[in-house]
Amino acid sequence: MRHLLQLMTSKPMMMTIDAHQTYHNALIDFYKNPQLYVGENASSKESSRSERPDTAYHMSVFGPTTHRFSGLDDNCERVLSYRDIRNQVVGLRNDDDVEKIFIEFDGPGGEAAGCFDLAEYIADIAKVKPVIGFINGASYSANYALASACTELYASPHSMGGSIGVIRGRLELENDKRKMTYFTSGEAKADGAPDTQLDDAESARHQAMVDELASNFFELVGKNRQLQADQVKSLEANIFTAQKLLDLGLIDGIKTEEEIKSMMTNATHQRIVDELNLKHEEEKTEMSEQVTQLQAQVESAGQVQTDLLNQVNQLAKSAGVADIAAQLVVEGESLEGAKAKIKTEAAKRDEEISLVGSLDNDDDSYDMLKLIEEA
């Protein structure tokens, strides 16, 4: 509790002015009744915060968010830490059964510290596995910073979003009276804040800090939404309808809950179809390779037969029995078998004749039957 009170009065926040005032007043009330405070060692019920019955998506980012703090019981609005969100996203990224991560957003914003790091982390995961964001209610400031990092971002027809800016409250106590001065980026960021008095020097220091942090915010949203930082800055932290968010390029479309759920179902269906198509393509490729191999085998076998016929024909001609060459090949004789039959047939036809040849008019003689054997 004390941690949250300090955040509200001494740290830069990325949330709406209404939320800042409401939570600040509520925390003061709860601080008067400490037994309602749970603290950072949350109960087992709190540890299962990711399994919410009020959302059908893989995870949700509802309500205010803070850097490290987790706590408050059911009597106070739950505060979700950026570490909680990071752990949930990591689990979904490593889950092979989750093809696309669907996140539902609805919150007024939260602490600036830790928000940019988490947004960058979500953007990195979105490069590996699609992250689909859905604004269902209102996504302001830090809540929208996280939503902008999604691969695709949608909003329900009557959702709101924006308030892209930074606010810091400075509390003054005088005679038990509380006075809050707000330093903001954007002329609309603190609309409705009570009048306060503060010296110019301190105001300048606070404003410089807010402007620097806001510049980082504008760069982040511009990068995630393919916009110029100056375009984001020119929004002056205003709040917009879903249609206006779409017109400004801050979301990718407007869909109902049913349409988003249909996208989740269609994503699973498409994955199955893609897997079947891939399997069919692999089977077609395998069959094509088998046909190619068979064709090569046929061509190879034909060439072998041709070569064998030429060799047998040459041997048969040399032995004077060329008429039996084709018959030997048709009968399936091997080269060695054909040689033996050629020799036998030649001997039958003329046992007395020795096939003698002369080469280059010298006296060397060649016994053709012997040549056949040697071949």
CA distances from 164 to 15, 16, 189, 361 (A): 8, 9, 8, 108
Q: Where are the beta strands (DSSP E) in the chain?
A: 12-15, 59-62, 65-66, 80-81, 101-107, 109-111, 131-140, 152-155, 160-162, 167-174, 177-184, 239-241, 253-254, 356-358, 365-367
Q: By CB neighbour count within 10 A (0-12 exposed, 13-18 middle, 19+ buried), where does 188 fall?
A: middle
Tokens (6 digits) for 179: 């006075």
190-199's contacts with Cβ under 8 Å and 24+ in sequence apart are 190/17, 191/17, 192/17, 192/18, 192/21, 193/17, 193/21, 196/170, 196/172, 198/170, 198/172
User: Are 64 and 108 in contact, with CB atoms under 8 Å apart?
Assistant: yes
pLDDT at residue 164, as a whole number: 93
Q: How many CB atoms lie within 10 A of CB 200?
A: 7
Domains of the chain, CATH where assigned: 2-255 (3.90.226.10), 302-374 (no CATH)
Q: In what order do the strands lie in the sheet with 109-111?
A: 80-81, 65-66, 109-111, 12-15, 167-174, 177-184
Q: 148-170 burial, b if ≥16 CB within 10 A, otherwise e?
A: bbbbebbbbeebbbbbbbbbbbb
Calpha distance 29→25 (Å, rounded): 6
In this structure, the chain runs to a length of 375
Alpha-carbon gap, residue 58 to 52, rounded angstroms? 10
Q: SS in 3 state form for 86-137?
A: HHHHHHHHCCCCCCCEEEEEEECEEECCCHHHHHHHHHHHHHHCCEEEEEEE
Residue 25 has a pLDDT of 67
Determine the pLDDT at residue 150: 95
pTM greater than the 0.85 cutoff: no
Tokens describing residue 310: 């030429």
Rounded CA-CA distance 241/219 in Å is 22
Task: Mention every residue, 6+ apart, whose C-beta is less than 8 A from residue 43.
Answer: 73
- Closest to 148 (Cα-Cα) out of 231, 76, 252: 252
Distance set, CA 10 to CA 24, 192, 205, 221 (Å): 12, 20, 13, 25
Q: Which amino acid is at 257?
A: E
Q: What is the mean pLDDT of each run of 10 residues along the chain (375 residues)?
A: 55 76 66 53 41 71 77 56 91 90 91 92 93 93 94 92 89 79 82 64 84 93 94 94 94 90 74 73 76 70 76 82 79 82 79 46 52 60
Residue 62: what are its φ and ψ, rounded to 5°? -110, 145
Nearest-angstrom CA–CA distance, 153 and 118: 17
Cβ neighbours for 272, distance < 8 A, ≥ 6 positions apart: none
Residue 373, token pair as written in the block: 């054997």
From start to end of 9-96, where are the E strands?
A: 12-15, 59-62, 65-66, 80-81
Q: What pLDDT score does 277 carry?
A: 78
pLDDT of residue 254: 93
